[in-house]
């Protein structure tokens, strides 16, 4: 691990060398004229406990990425409300060695929806493809922002059912259902959806959803993908072909980072600059 003096903020993960956060955050910190540096620290799973006890408490704060987002929760001193509901932490603030865990993934996604796609989720019907960690964060944030209904559609239906049960427990006022990626229930959810979000890893390696029932999706529905490399995923390309407005994934990364920086410094960074740096480094 690097000596403390090299930076005050960091992202921890394993692997972490590919992370785009240092470039993006350092540009934002420089623009704010803050004398702070953001680094990347590889922390292996077996080192997480000692990192949290040691260097983690001496930093000003840090981001947490794969594979530590869930494992770090019981190691922290306090967990903020939304992170507790999501059950995962992506941002830690250290105040005099007291560590508070936040989750800015879901809120960052919503900020991007509002700012980049001008989409206001309140009262809307949404279909989420996928039932992993990203779906959990985004589903929770959408529920907290009072969408009318949420359908979790996933290849493995048991995983969709499990996430749905957890979301219903935390968000009892929202109508939440689950289904597979084919069949009547899926088609009917698509027909009523104002927003369709892909949170699965499909698209990461330029793979597409085979036989996606595009004709079932509500006319004019916004189609969003959290995969940001390539920026124009096969899923978004297909949505465009069917004349849907689209929302690409880099906005979530920009805004989760901007919210984290605000938690650490109390200052609002230049998100346009952060996006430019991110896209340049993709
Ligand atoms: P993350 O934490 O980034 O959300 P994850 O927890 O690994 O990632 O979740 C990956 C999601 O992508 C899951 O919903 C997975 O579906 P299963 O629950 O059926 O595994 C989905 N996924 C991955 N590859 C897929 C594929 N080829 N077709 C359909 N869904 C896929």
pLDDT computed for residue 187 by the predictor: 97
Describe the crossing of helices 271-281 and 21-31 by its angle, rounded to 10 degrees. 150
* Euclidean distance between CA atoms 244 and 242, whole angstroms: 6
What's phi and psi for 34, nearest 5 deg?
-95, 135
Cα first-last separation, the chain: 26
CB atoms within 10 A of CB 104: 27
Instruction: Tell if the pTM clears 0.85, that is, is over it.
Output: yes
- Taking the C-alpha atoms of residue 10 and residue 22, their distance in angstroms, rounded to an integer, is 7
* Ligand 1 pocket: which of 160, 200, 225, 234 to mutate (most atoms within 8 A of CB): 200
Indicate the SS3 state at residue 206.
coil
Q: Is the pLDDT of residue 29 over 70?
A: yes
Which tens digit of pLDDT belongs to each residue from 85-125? 999 999 999 999 999 999 999 999 999 999 999 999 999 99
Mean pLDDT of 56-67: 97
The verdict on the CB of residue 156 being under 6 Å from ligand 1 is yes
In the structure, what pLDDT confidence band is assigned to residue 206 with cuts at 50, 70 and 90? low
Report yes or no: 216 and 195 within 8 Å, Cβ to Cβ: no
Residues with active-site annotation? 69
- Whether the CB-CB separation of 100 and 57 falls below 8 Å is answered with no
Cα separations in angstroms, 246 against 134, 164, 237, 278 = 19, 25, 9, 19
Which atom from ligand 1 is nearest to the alpha carbon of 135? 4
The answer, yes or no, to whether any atom of ligand 1 lies below 6 A from the CB of 130, is yes
- The pLDDT mean for the chain works out to 95
Measure 43 CA to ligand 1 centroid, in angstroms.
24
Alpha carbon nearest to ligand 1 atom 6, residue: 132
């Amino acid at each position: 691990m690097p000596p403390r003096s090299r930076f005050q903020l960091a992202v921890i993960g394993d692997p972490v060398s590919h992370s785009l956060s240092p470039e993006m955050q350092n540009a934002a910190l420089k623009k704010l004229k803050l004398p702070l540096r953001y680094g990347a620290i590889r922390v292996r799973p077996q080192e997480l406990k000692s990192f949290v006890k040691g260097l983690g408490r001496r930093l000003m704060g840090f981001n947490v990425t794969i594979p530590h987002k869930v494992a770090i929760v019981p190691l922290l001193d306090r967990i903020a409300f939304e992170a507790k509901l999501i059950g995962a932490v992506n941002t830690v603030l250290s105040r005099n060695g007291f560590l508070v865990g936040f989750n800015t993934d879901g809120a960052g996604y919503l900020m991007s929806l509002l700012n980049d796609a001008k989409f206001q989720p309140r009262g809307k019907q949404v279909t989420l493809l996928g039932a992993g960690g990203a779906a959990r964060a985004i589903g929770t944030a959408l529920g907290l922002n009072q969408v009318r209904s949420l359908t979790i559609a996933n290849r493995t239906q048991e995983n969709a059912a499990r996430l749905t049960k957890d979301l219903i427990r935390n968000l009892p006022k929202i109508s939440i259902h689950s289904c597979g990626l084919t069949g009547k229930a899926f088609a009917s959810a698509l027909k009523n959806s104002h927003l369709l979000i892909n949170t699965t890893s499909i698209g990461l390696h330029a793979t597409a959803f085979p036989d996606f029932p595009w004709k079932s999706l509500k006319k004019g529905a916004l189609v969003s993908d959290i995969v940001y490399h390539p920026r124009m995923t096969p899923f978004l390309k297909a949505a465009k072909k069917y004349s849907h407005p689209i929302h690409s994934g880099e906005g979530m990364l920009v805004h989760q980072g901007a919210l984290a920086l605000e938690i650490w410094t109390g200052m609002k960074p230049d998100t346009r600059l952060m996006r430019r740096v991110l896209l340049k480094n993709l």
